[in-house]
Amino acid sequence: MPDVSPRPEPFTERAAPADLDDLRARLRGTRLPDAPRDAGWSLGTDLGYLRELVAYWADDFDWQAQEEALFRFPRFRVRLGDSLIHFAHVRAAAPPDPVLPLVLSHGWPDSFWRYAKVIPLLTDPAAHGGDPADAFDVVVPDMPGYGYSGRPAGAPLDSVAAAGLWASLMSVLGYRRFGAAGGDIGSHVSRYLGLDYPDRVVAVHRTDAGVPFFAGDPASLSPQERAWLSSMASWSAAEGSYSAMHRTKPQTAAFGLTDSPAGLAAWIVEKLRAWSDCGGDVERSFTRDEILTNVTIYWLTGTIGSSMRMYHANAVIPPSQLARRVEVPSGFALFPGDIGQPPRAWLERVANVVRVTEMPRGGHFAPFEEPELYAQELRDFFRPYRALATGLHGFPAWLMELF
């Protein structure tokens, strides 16, 4: 019987010169809005900053150099059911025995780009001052509708479905047991991997606890939990308008953001600034080239609309799913510049917590902002679970030929 299992194909696509010419022409023809005097970032993206960013993007940003840098990672696409998934797959430079496979899940507004700085630290710790016994095989997929993954043609996929795709992907790659880590929407996906595949996921690490859901008696909450829930409600009222748009009418915003690169940059850079540990100066956390690499991926792939639609799908996940507790060993790294800092009592309510680390610096995009801190945290957290990764299928011969 022929082998009909999914087979990843190397991903080698480069941006077409005509698409880059079109991008630059659009940037040079940007019509910017006015802004009140001295508004700064108080009403959203700062007009003066965006004007400079757009000019740099049009005339000085070297996409081809950034594109080639991303190709230092082996990258692939594979069709899993109706979904075409793009992923980076980087094996440990000097594999310990056993090697622990690790699937890393990103959030919005980014892609596998979120982990570009941390992949070398995880796959080759010895080259970066670490212990070679801590090396991982690392898999970083783009969420469905993000980056170079396919855009769902029908209903958008939610985090539960993405977790199922990741479990299938790890099987295709020959990994029976593995660790899962992520933040933002990637935190949700990692959570559902632990919930739905506890026989395969050795442990789950997250940089947040997700949007809080509680349907019990408020009297059962600790004072710290009640204060945190109140603070998250206040944050949502002041800063959550983007999420309301994504959940309810993402297609309306998608028209403008897909047509205007300046509008796309404004939508994304405001979040990079607000959610990072940058003290109000986004370029303390990201260089202009790094910001524009992230934004250009969205532009060239046309995925801003499909990425936002995932919020719409997640908004209708049944409460029974949201209320489930993760029982596989769970760790959390809380970065001071992130959106929220859930108390330990809440984390223990939602997961089988074995480790909580209060990080000294970093924000929502911690793997990119503070790759060394994040890599060391993952090494330390997953070290006790490496022995559980002995159940590898073994790499199929056809897969070995791709490396």
Find out whether the peptide bond into 109 is cis, omega within 30 degrees of 0. yes
Total-model pTM: 0.95
Tell whether the model's pLDDT for residue 396 goes beyond 60.
no
35, part of any domain: no
Q: How confident is the model at residue 278 (pLDDT cuts 50, 70, 90)?
A: very high
Burial class (CB in 10 A: 0-12, 13-18, 19+), 122: buried
pLDDT of residue 134: 96
Tell whether the model's pLDDT for residue 189 goes beyond 70.
yes
pLDDT of residue 399: 54
pLDDT of residue 390: 65
7, part of any domain: no
Q: For 29-55, what is each residue's pLDDT tens digit?
A: 999 999 999 999 999 999 999 999 999
Angle at 338 between CA 337 and CA 340, to 5 degrees: 120
The rounded mean pLDDT for the chain is: 95
Q: For 94-119, what is each residue's pLDDT tens digit?
A: 888 889 999 999 999 999 999 999 99
250, part of any domain: yes
pLDDT of residue 143: 98
Tell whether the model's pLDDT for residue 2 goes beyond 80.
no
Q: For 26-36, what is each residue's pLDDT tens digit?
A: 999 999 999 99
Number of domains comprising the chain: 1
pLDDT of residue 388: 86
Q: For 289-314, what is each residue's pLDDT tens digit?
A: 999 999 999 999 999 999 999 999 99
Residue 339 token pair:
């959106």
Among residues 402, 375, 383, 382, the alpha carbon closest in space to that of 174 is found at 402
Tell whether the model's pLDDT for residue 240 goes beyond 70.
yes
Q: Confirm if 312 and 76 have CB atoms less than 8 A apart.
A: no
Active centre residues (catalytic): 184, 311, 364
Tell whether the model's pLDDT for residue 190 goes beyond 90.
yes
Measured CA to CA, the distance from residue 76 to residue 64 in angstroms comes to 19
Q: Confirm if 250 and 22 have CB atoms less than 8 A apart.
A: no
**Lowest-pLDDT choice from 233-237, 267-271, 311-315:** 233-237
Q: How confident is the model at residue 85 (pLDDT cuts 50, 70, 90)?
A: very high
185, part of any domain: yes
Q: Which residue has the tokens 């990080």?
A: 359
Percent of the chain with pLDDT over 70: 96
Query: What radius of gyration, in Å, describes the C-alpha atoms of the chain?
Result: 21
Tell whether the model's pLDDT for residue 391 goes beyond 60.
no
Among residues 85, 88, 101, the alpha carbon closest in space to that of 6 is found at 85
8, part of any domain: no
Where in the sequence is the domain holding 203, given as residue range(s)? Answer: 15-29+40-400
159, part of any domain: yes
pLDDT of residue 389: 79
Question: Residue 102's domain is classified under what CATH number?
Answer: 3.40.50.1820
Phi and psi based region of residue 174 (left: phi greater than 0; alpha: psi -120 to 50; beta: remaining): left
Tell whether the model's pLDDT for residue 188 goes beyond 90.
yes
Q: Which residue has the higher pLDDT, 400 or 237?
A: 237
5, part of any domain: no
263, part of any domain: yes
Measured CA to CA, the distance from residue 197 to residue 204 in angstroms comes to 11
**Lowest-pLDDT choice from 165-169, 214-218, 288-292:** 214-218
